[in-house]
Structure 1
């Protein structure tokens, strides 16, 4: 039978292994247990026992696979070595289709002891795709359906307080080919053999009194353009767990150190089994009108300050439940600006224009993550100077939202493309219900997070009118406080406000700047990007040595889904060979790829930044990272090794930056902060290769207005340049200190775009000749020194590099902290800068930071190499 109460709601993050929380005298225990351990997994094929039997305490799971939740089916089988090294080579092909059968999950746990008025709740954060759920021989649900819809059950009448309890869940996977309203990676990687079937979200047992609280939320409204006040409205749902009316007093406290504490309270009577929204608005509770609030600001704009809302529900003087949530006082507004005949969406935070710039996040292909992984993603986004993470269907990693809130990183969530989600004209009644329940779950989870600034109901295409109307009704009912988008592709919806016109394959840097071309930096884009082979050290981890060179089937298998237009990187390789010279080995290819990734990613973000608010309003690079080891689409690779794309983005997105326009030869100064910079000087110097002779120098004074792009000068086209040359841009303050230092390598025969383009690529008619870089004299005269500090399990290494040569450039230097003298780079790691170039006699200092544990017990060493600098390794004291 189904329980009396079944709702779609996601709870706050719970990590306790035993119930914790307040216990009133003679009252209920308030707490939560994450049911992580003691689970087993097996195929339902060949198992005649029913859920009523399997969910009995003491049932034997001999021969099953032990798993720790959350876990998909394939993740559990991999953890038990049923399938091994599936990310290496083409081993994933050895995993058979796992979607043609059901799968049993079974676990036992001890429930909290009984207390007066005790209620017990079983909550599933995510099940893919449908499930039959049994507890202690009783069926709670015969059809819990929807990967993005959370499921909750009042199990007070079924639980065995203070005793062992048994759960059995029979999971039916989503259909392959993205045919169900589930997770779908489209063409990003091979289709996952189990379609991410299983208990991918957290499974929790919660204990409350007769009234439970759900989904606390604070909506904030500012008197824009002023920000010296804020009106707060507090919402939460109260649920009566009993079969009789209950009167409860709900009290909320808003606090922040150094700020006045606000308290509100309301008494209501709930009917039997009733779930009701409780609201506190400033009209009825004037204390919710804050004077001079401390605002939440995104990265580079200010500090991401947060307040805390603590809620409690009391019944007959005893605490029945408590919930708390951190929130930010901020307001997001949107506007439209017409560029090239299309109205594009722009956004403001607290009244300030913001150019959102980020990447499309992918969780691990088997949906495995942990705190360290989540934290590394958010940290890398900030290190690159980005401010946004887009989630196209990769929803439900609640810890990522919390980390983004604390870091000031924006979240751009929405449903995915190219699947049942967008093939909605023929949905069944069940699919319609699943879609709406999924939206309700996700909006309830996201709405309290200050990092979330928009929701996209569709990706490549908008939902049908009827479904869109229903979606918007849900958002209104849930008091969604942020803008929404019907979809993010103007090709399918002229009023989308966001374009998605590619490319997704390599094109030269000039494309981003040539605003006559599709894909260039005008308007607002939901995604575009290029292939991005990772550094050699990463390639060696997932491509067997015998298949590293020449590029062949294994490389292509890690490029994109078989049969898609992304199943090879031929366009990228052609550009690399034509521009930098034909690669002769995997090492040569990877080195040149780092150069090409750097210049292209740098140009991508520079073009969007330099056109901000006049022509450009936001951009997402496709992708931020990879779901598995990939040679296509990422700013950093699966292993968190930062490469050319990472450092190109970091250079382009530094707080105050000087940039070169490949199309017009203009130089821009972009100030991404809210503080103006006066008294600056921009310099553009052209040098020959290989002898570094200066051909011309152009200077101009610059005042960099806050949160704006300023045109500084135009680079001349003098005689005397070599076919491959350097352009060095520098921005200095009044004291002569370098604010931004930027080196370009280009050609007197520049890249020229062809006339042929489609949704994923633009042809190149003429390739820039960058082979002059190969004539740079070898430079072994780079001196290095390093010092290290260790504190709290974290290490910081300060590296000083000096080019002691009197004549030769040290080009594209890459200092790395490695584990052991012959080890690989310690990961994850951040550097204040990298891939630097030093003129004769120049010096620079770089700081690296990483966790001691990631050395794996090895001593740290400094490895230094460059395009024309031999590899050197030295211990770090």
Structure 2
């Protein structure tokens, strides 16, 4: 090939047809070529080594338009050649040298600036055009910058042969070499999103046995639980849930599906299965293995569980209500990973992927009377990977591995830095199995589209799309009836349609049915902004004089719109509010998520704006650009300050029944968060979305692909899309879902990304789909380790940050319930196995070091935990107060990594797996409250945050105390804060007093005009981190405690009155409700905890719970020895 190419080149030269080569330049420094559309980011290049006491900046520029104002073009550090109102200039900090030379649009001009240590000289096309004596300091950051951006603006056009040299050069010679654009490859300042170029495979071989975690605690004894003993079929609305199952590993079963699915088959030695549930759940429940969540018990469970198939089998009598001639469907709501289904000796078919429903018509095989046998052969994911077992020696290991290629599945079950490997990889019937009888007209998953038609939210319009399947084999006439309740009055409509065989969508609109136009609607609101009101839609399909099918769902009336910075077809970055529901009605797609449409811009990346949406009512231009390019979520026309966290998994063994999950959702609501994320779709089931709806928690919903250039991409796109189609159809009616993410931390491969975007538009169309959970109109992820609290105000997680985390040590009681006594102190392998990371993203050493500097190193578990809770409270409160400080100026959302613990963890959580709540929970609860008074860092000025729409007027009351409990400051400040806004900073003199006293206690109250306390807060800042050691000087606390038991509906409540009866501040008083044996009552919903009280101050805390019988209350604090009292 080389020889042939040389011959062709020689022939071309002889023919005179070779174009001129790009012009070389007599410059030893590297030369760069770049082009910048309006929506672009700076390009940074290395510069030659040198002192830079003297320099030359030189190159060709071709502006796309005449500059308005000052526009930097290129330079070194902060010293740049620039355009000022269309003329050549030089700009540096405090220095501007201007020339009369024009920089005309659409024409190349050679520009140069030289500095000899005394004079700055400007040249245009080789001619000197300005000179001025200046004093320039050598740049601290000697890097070449091309097209630096100022805010969202910057140079638009092309730059060629630009170089920076740490010496004065002859610029006239440089100006002779004009660029040939046809032969230059220009680097763009607006590159599109890249493809994946690398991946890791996790643990590729078993780890060195010497690095496995070790413990002196014996492996736990398996404890069997009672198996399900109820009826095989349990009525569930218009269906029956199939509950009585048996399970056995396939290698232990000699027979095939045809035999196993016979009613007379003797399933001897099979396990009574827990369904819904995984294989491992059944084996733990039946006493085969110990609780894998305690200590190192998980190591005693074999990896062989994920390398074999399993048979599940159930027998049931045909429901007496089933009539011949109708259809009887069995639906598997969730099987991981694949299933082959048999009934009464007949193979019904198969299903694959953890998140798709498998539905089979069994009418022709079911027995009209007597027993039927249903069997399913369940296969685990084919690439389970090899587990990494975390220890102090082995470290945290990788996040996942080869299992990621099998998505859609529970890819985290291979092991992540917040759970160990789940031995069965969550294989099994993890969701319900139901039976449902219908006629020939069958209802599908209805889509309820809601829109607010007036700015004052006084009117809503509903549209209902109902997929209907005609199984008759011929056209039939059917009547669809819809009955909606939950509003001021019920409404009912009916529509008669002619249905051809197959599937079609019946649409009910307000134009056809005015009853769907609702005055003064009851709206669904995120937590803290109003009630999450839900309506019920009951659908009935009637055909041939009878009911053919019926279905019920709940939905919320709400609108969701998005403030975004989008790149239009002309390369401009436009700040708009996008209304996808309106776009759906207009038949236009608004955003373009293709790799080619995602463009790098200042502060990250921006999504493309489709040409078809420009100049339509689906987008509204916004004048404000402070938040560009970041997302703002608006619900019902109100900007929502998105505060919340990520759910990696609701439960690592997928025990996800409503009773188990609801306390977690209630605790999230009580923590005042309003948004959670279904990370990598690992929580995709009915209970998750139903509870999110009920508790007012917005959901950012991922599909099943993880980190670009790290995790393996899903390999079966068709399989992935079949699961995705079912998920979107199944859950699109939930008001809690506000956004679809294609991938965690990266964009899916193009075929998958574009298919997902098209699917969401087709089946939903009311929500934004974006490929990546970070960077694209969002902040990058992290940090995940402990940082100084002030840095969350000044540096970290700006804009809309979907992941920011810090270590979060649990209560001493929760840790004791997690590992054996011998493993509790010092913190070693057993605790590391439970995510106390020696390295990796969440390395705990910064946390341990900060604790030691502030409070002294931990001397025992109890001492360490006491100190850790102060760090927990401070850092978690700072994360959200830091967001508040820049709200709507530079911040619009901040989400913890993470809020939900998938198992008993010591890392990244605000509550424990057993529902206990430690100080992190209450730090978040304080900072995220709807109306909040706070002290900003690092300036110690005060601020009021008002999230709801109504204005707040009142007084900020400030009291300052020293470590002896003496009041050293007192003040009141009047405030008036508009809705969805923040007050101006309030200077209260705290910084000056802090320098004087070294450590202060700050007590804040926001009081309404009627004197009602709207918010309270307490701090204990010190002038230096080590100044926190003064907390050891606090006198022993004295507290008077009174309790009162009362009934609160179906629950119980203890009202606790605390009064600081001493002379010193009482710091972080922790309340723990126990039974008379001293065991924690869980869950308990405390209105507050880790309470700090100034001398003489009284606080009432309520503890809501569900326990009958005797109760005791434990109270301990930083300077309060534990005391226990009986609850009366």
Partner of 2:529: 301
1:258 pairs with 2:485 = no
Alignment of 1:253-292 (within 5 A): 253-259=483-489, 261-271=491-501, 274-292=502-520
The secondary structure found in structure 2 opposite 1:57 is coil
**Match for residue 582 of structure 1 among 857, 860, 863:** 857
Partner of 1:199: 429
Q: Determine if contact 1:45/1:102 at 8 Å carries over to the other structure.
A: yes
> In 2, Cα distance between the equivalents of 1:406 and 1:326?
10
Deviations 1:680-729 (A, max 9, x none): 2224444332x133444454221122121212413533256343332333
Unaligned runs of 5+ in 2: 1-229, 385-400, 566-574, 576-600, 605-628
> In 2, Cα distance between the equivalents of 1:440 and 1:670?
41
Partner of 1:438: 723
1:864 pairs with 2:1122 = no
> In 1, Cα distance between the equivalents of 2:903 and 2:862?
21
Partner of 2:1070: 814
Partner of 1:350: 636
1:850 pairs with 2:1115 = no
Q: Determine if contact 1:556/1:569 at 8 Å carries over to the other structure.
A: no
1:616 pairs with 2:886 = no
Alignment of 1:240-639 (within 5 A): 240-259=470-489, 261-271=491-501, 274-336=502-564, 341-342=603-604, 343-361=629-647, 362-392=649-679, 393-418=681-706, 428=715, 431-490=716-775, 496-514=776-794, 517=795, 519-520=796-797, 522-559=798-835, 565=840, 569-639=844-914
**Match for residue 1029 of structure 2 among 771, 774, 779:** 771
Q: Determine if contact 2:728/2:764 at 8 Å carries over to the other structure.
A: no
Deviation at residue 423 of structure 1 after TM alignment: 5.8
Partner of 1:26: none
> In 2, Cα distance between the equivalents of 1:340 and 1:831?
44
**Match for residue 347 of structure 2 among 129, 133, 139:** 139
Q: Determine if contact 2:294/2:819 at 8 Å carries over to the other structure.
A: yes
> In 1, Cα distance between the equivalents of 2:965 and 2:239?
66
- 1:79–1:480 Cα change, 3 Å: farther
Deviations 1:327-349 (A, max 9, x none): 21111000126896341111111
> In 2, Cα distance between the equivalents of 1:808 and 1:305?
46
Q: Determine if contact 2:785/2:843 at 8 Å carries over to the other structure.
A: no
1:234 pairs with 2:519 = no
**Match for residue 840 of structure 1 among 1091, 1095, 1099:** 1095
- 1:483–1:420 Cα change, 3 Å: closer
Deviation at residue 458 of structure 1 after TM alignment: 1.5
Deviation at residue 198 of structure 1 after TM alignment: 0.6
- 1:798–1:19 Cα change, 3 Å: closer
- 1:17–1:210 Cα change, 3 Å: farther
Q: Determine if contact 1:225/1:351 at 8 Å carries over to the other structure.
A: yes
- 1:791–1:683 Cα change, 3 Å: closer
Deviation at residue 850 of structure 1 after TM alignment: 0.4
- 1:808–1:352 Cα change, 3 Å: same
Alignment of 1:43-192 (within 5 A): 43-97=249-303, 98-113=305-320, 114-141=322-349, 143-174=350-381, 175-176=383-384, 177=401, 178-179=403-404, 180-181=406-407, 182-185=409-412, 186-192=416-422
> In 1, Cα distance between the equivalents of 2:1032 and 2:319?
70
> In 2, Cα distance between the equivalents of 1:441 and 1:478?
10
Q: Determine if contact 1:148/1:395 at 8 Å carries over to the other structure.
A: no
> In 1, Cα distance between the equivalents of 2:419 and 2:955?
46
Select the structure of larger CA radius of gyration. Answer: 2
The secondary structure found in structure 1 opposite 2:898 is coil
> In 1, Cα distance between the equivalents of 2:234 and 2:1092?
56
Structure 1 vs Structure 2 CA RMSD: 2.4
> In 1, Cα distance between the equivalents of 2:938 and 2:410?
40
Partner of 1:11: none
> In 1, Cα distance between the equivalents of 2:1010 and 2:469?
64
1:723 pairs with 2:1020 = no
Deviations 1:239-284 (A, max 9, x none): 234445443222222333532524131322231xx22222222333
Partner of 1:873: 1124
Q: Determine if contact 2:960/2:969 at 8 Å carries over to the other structure.
A: yes
Q: Determine if contact 1:233/1:279 at 8 Å carries over to the other structure.
A: yes
- 1:737–1:316 Cα change, 3 Å: closer
- 1:743–1:669 Cα change, 3 Å: same
Q: Determine if contact 2:483/2:490 at 8 Å carries over to the other structure.
A: no
Q: Determine if contact 1:701/1:712 at 8 Å carries over to the other structure.
A: no
> In 1, Cα distance between the equivalents of 2:417 and 2:815?
21
> In 2, Cα distance between the equivalents of 1:398 and 1:570?
40
> In 1, Cα distance between the equivalents of 2:839 and 2:267?
42
Q: Determine if contact 1:730/1:740 at 8 Å carries over to the other structure.
A: yes
Q: Determine if contact 1:557/1:568 at 8 Å carries over to the other structure.
A: no
Instruction: Please report the TM-score for the alignment, with normalisation by the length of structure 2.
Output: 0.69
Partner of 1:9: none
Instruction: Please report the TM-score for the alignment, with normalisation by the length of structure 1.
Output: 0.88
Partner of 2:446: 216
The secondary structure found in structure 1 opposite 2:538 is strand
> In 2, Cα distance between the equivalents of 1:777 and 1:553?
37
For these two proteins, the number of residue pairs brought into alignment is 812
Deviation at residue 234 of structure 1 after TM alignment: 0.7
> In 2, Cα distance between the equivalents of 1:832 and 1:442?
36
| More displaced stretch, 413-422 vs 453-462 | 413-422
> In 2, Cα distance between the equivalents of 1:81 and 1:567?
35
Deviation at residue 650 of structure 1 after TM alignment: 1.1
> In 2, Cα distance between the equivalents of 1:851 and 1:537?
20
Deviations 1:763-785 (A, max 9, x none): xxxxx531211221112x31111
The secondary structure found in structure 2 opposite 1:826 is coil
> In 1, Cα distance between the equivalents of 2:657 and 2:563?
37
> In 2, Cα distance between the equivalents of 1:132 and 1:238?
27
Deviation at residue 363 of structure 1 after TM alignment: 1.3
> In 2, Cα distance between the equivalents of 1:419 and 1:649?
27
Q: Determine if contact 2:650/2:683 at 8 Å carries over to the other structure.
A: no
The secondary structure found in structure 2 opposite 1:486 is strand
**Match for residue 36 of structure 1 among 220, 236, 243:** 243
Q: Determine if contact 1:696/1:718 at 8 Å carries over to the other structure.
A: no
The secondary structure found in structure 2 opposite 1:463 is coil
The secondary structure found in structure 1 opposite 2:524 is coil
> In 2, Cα distance between the equivalents of 1:240 and 1:165?
27
Deviation at residue 72 of structure 1 after TM alignment: 0.5
